[in-house]
Amino acid sequence: MISDDKPLGRPPMLQSKKSTHSFLSSTAGLNPASFLGTDATTAVTLASSDQAEIAIFEEGLGLAKTTLSRSSRSVSPQPSFMVLPPQLALDPLPFVELLHDFVNTSIAKTDDTYKGSKPFNILTETEEDIDESYLEEKVHISKKGEGFTAKLKQFFILSSAGKPIYSMNGDDDVLLGYSGLITTIVASFEDGTDLLFRSISQNGFRMVVMNKSPLILVAISRVSYELMLDLKLLESQLSSVYNYLLAVLSAPVITKSFHNRMNYDLRRVLSAQDLKTLDILTSMLTFGFSDTTDDENKSYTVDPSMFISSLLDDAVQCARLSSTLRAKLDDIFVSCKRLKVNLPQSEATPFLQGKLYTLETTKLLASDLLFAFLIYDNKIVSHLHPKTHCLENKDISTLLLMLSQLSPAGESKNVQEEPDLWFPICLARFNDSGFLHCYVRHLHLPNLSRPLTLLLLSGNKNSFFEMKQSANYIFAKICKSKTLSSSLPEELAQGYLPLTSVLKTPQVKHFIYKRRKANQYIMDPLTFSKDTFENIVDSMFILYLYTALSSSKSEEVRVGASMKKLTYTRWHLKEGFTGFLLADEKYELYCLCKGFVTSLVLIEQSLRIVNWCENYRKRLFIGPGVQF
């Protein structure tokens, strides 16, 4: 029998120490007050930073970890409380039985001290209540100097000379001191060595540095769930920030700006919009929401997907669509690429055909088109790319970020009236030294709340009219096709239905399913419908649970030819949650259940999800997209 109704166990996440360190103070041995006002900010030498654990890169050798003292580790590894008896992993038990044993052993191992009656602060793992003023003080971005050190998360972009370029929080007065301090710490480590400064970690505090001379990017976190994982998460965030900076400036512009003048102030070439986008990016990446307040209304967008994407190694989200419809859209892309248009008489060029010169009177309309996307609600519907090139997910995410910051789609139902957008963008992972040119237009389909967005990326800055004509062609094809015009809106709208009800897995409250090879994921749609404050907390709660789940120690078992990774975790927060992770070389399933479900139900339902996702993988994931 499965005994799942044991008293509540104490979740391992609650065991980490209360963090009372203020920003940087514990690392540098400084008085935090000295950062404020005009008091001097003292640079530290190696000798005074003897408490922290510092990680540095050794060139060519990957990571070398130098522990400067025997201090406690910043993040205690999640204790394993779900070890399979060794013989279990070896016995060729049927998979399902094996899962049951695993879950039951895990449940038996949980210790039962914490009753979870007190409020639990997911940001700091303390009992401090999270209310609106708490968020205001610790979470929301503020460009004021006062209260700077209370923030749980900081992002900085500095020049190597120590001049601030961007900071998530704080004003110039505070930042000038910090910038000097950070550059000094980094440079003191790196000077005269081949080492790259990577991070400082201490109980409840972590600073991660990315040195991209002439720039230094820094993330500092005291957010509990960000500290559960290794450095990878914060490093991925930093590279997203850097990728955005490159997208608007490109690497040569940054290098040239500082060439022969290290005192250059890069803010000269950044617009107010760029800085605002960085605010949205940094807040989304950390807390799963961003401030979208305009002149009149205070408002926030809650969306944990950017955080989840970096948790899942930059996986991107796809829109659910039947393979017939997707194939039709793909065909339209390919046919657009092959489309020939008549040349005006004057431009006709003679060419050799066999032994005869013929006058070439047509040309390929979209010869400069490199990549095309159809996007719905930030999810990829269809994607075209050349045989020889494809885009990395980091670049696609940057593109989507840019897209979300462009002027919102008009409400016009008339295709012709939708404005064309045309802007240069440097997709750095693809090519960081030049710009592609991006054409954007929205298409409003009947009965859909959001528009379908077409993105056409061209290598030629003079191809605006060709791209516009291509867009006309693509939209006309979509609207003319009976199947597409009727089924596309219907199917896209279905994307908002909770999958857990489609799949009849009522115990599973939410899940994420990722295909590893394509590095794409789908998740149960999340709807946040309460007031802003509650939505923000709910969203952060989801980030907390998924991060805790993916950082909990997992067990590997062999099933036939494949290695399965299993993690089972229970949280005694609120009404209690159960988390279950099942992964192998093909997929990763993360699921969250409310309450403590029996292993029978948990396993039956999660296997149903896996089977369903694998069966329908063609409609759930677009894979590499269509080639030309």
Partner 1 sequence: MSARKKTLLKVIVLGDLGVGKTSLMQQFVNKKFSHQYKATIGADFLTKDLTIDNKTVSLQIWDTAGQERFQSLGVAFYRGADCCVLCYDVTNEKSLNNLSSWKDEFLVQSNVSNPQDFPFIIIGNKIDVDESKKIPSLQKKLLNITNNQLGGLNYPLFETSAKDSINVETAFENVARMALQQEELNGASRNDMNDDYHDAINIHLENDNSGCAC
CB-CB neighbours of 322 under 10 Å: 16
Nearer Cβ to partner 1 (79/424): 424
Round to whole Å and give the CA distance between 525 and 545. Answer: 16
- With beta carbons less than 8 A apart as the criterion, state whether 79 and 12 touch: yes
The dihedrals phi and psi of 451, each to the nearest 5 degrees, come to -80, 160
Show the site string, 187-216: x = touches partner 1 by CB under 8 A, - = not. xx--xx------------------------
- Taking the complex as a whole, how short is the minimal distance between the CB of residue 117 and partner 1, in angstroms? 47
Q: Which residues from 351-370 bind partner 1, rule CB under 8 A? A: 370
From 101-109, 160-168, 468-476, 490-498, span contacting partner 1 (CB under 8 A) = 160-168
Nearer CB in complex with partner 1: 42/507? 42
Q: Looking at residues 454 to 493 of the shown chain, list those that interact with partner 1 (rule: CB under 8 A).
A: 459-461
**How far separated are the first and last CA of the chain, in Å rounded?**
57
Q: What is d(CA 522, CA 316) in angstroms, rounded to the nearest whole number?
A: 8
CB of residue 41 vs partner 1: minimum separation in angstroms? 4
Asked if 42 touches partner 1 (CB under 8 A), the answer is: yes
Q: Which is nearer to partner 1, 177 or 204 (CB)?
A: 177
Report the C-alpha gap between 3 and 495 in whole angstroms. 37
Buried b (16+ CB within 10 A) or exposed e, 224-261: bbbbbbebebbbbbbbbbbbbbbbbbbbebbeebbeee
| 428-457: contacts with partner 1 (CB under 8 A) | 430-431, 433-436
Q: Which is nearer to partner 1, 121 or 519 (CB)?
A: 519
Residue 365 to residue 422: CA distance in whole angstroms: 17
Asked whether position 252 contacts partner 1 by CB under 8 A, the answer is: yes
CA separation (Å) from 410 to 295, 310, 377, 378, 488? Answer: 19, 31, 15, 17, 20
Q: Is 250 in the site for partner 1 (CB under 8 A)?
A: yes
Among 136, 222, 193, residue whose Cα is nearest residue 533: 136
Please state the three-class secondary structure of 70-121 as a single string.
CCCCCCCCCCCCCCCCHHHHHCCCCHHHHHHHHHHHHHHHCCCCCCCCCCCE
For residue 117, the one-letter residue type is S
Residues 259-298 that bind partner 1 (CB under 8 A): 260-265, 267-272, 274-275
Rounded Cα distance between 92 and 88, Å, is 8
Q: Which stretch binds partner 1 (CB under 8 A): 171-179, 222-230, 285-293, 441-449?
A: 171-179
Of residues 14 and 187, the one with the C-beta less far from partner 1: 187
Q: Least distance in Å: CB of 391 to partner 1?
A: 8
Select the span of 226-234, 245-253, 282-290, 494-502 touching partner 1 (CB under 8 A): 245-253
Give how many residues touch partner 1 by CB under 8 A. Answer: 67
**String marking each residue 314-353 x if it binds partner 1 according to CB under 8 A:** ----------------------------------------
| 160 is a site residue for partner 1 (CB under 8 A) | yes
Which residue number, 48 or 72, has a Cβ lying nearer to partner 1? 48
3-state secondary structure of 617: helix
Among 151, 163, 379, 572, binds partner 1 (CB under 8 A): 163
Q: What token pair was written down for 563?
A: 């290695």
393 lines the binding site for partner 1 (CB under 8 A): no
Q: Is 403 exposed, middle or buried, given 0-12, 13-18 or 19+ CB atoms closer than 10 A?
A: middle
Helix, coil or strand: residue 563? strand
Using CB under 8 A, which of 20, 31, 45, 485 touches partner 1? 45
**Residue of 9, 11, 162, 288 interacting with partner 1 (CB under 8 A):** 162
Q: Are strands 577-583 and 587-594 parallel, antiparallel or unpaired?
A: antiparallel
Binding interface with partner 1 (CB under 8 A) = 38-45, 48, 159-164, 172-173, 176-177, 179-181, 183-184, 186-188, 191-192, 250, 252-253, 256-257, 260-265, 267-272, 274-275, 370, 386-392, 424, 430-431, 433-436, 459-461, 624
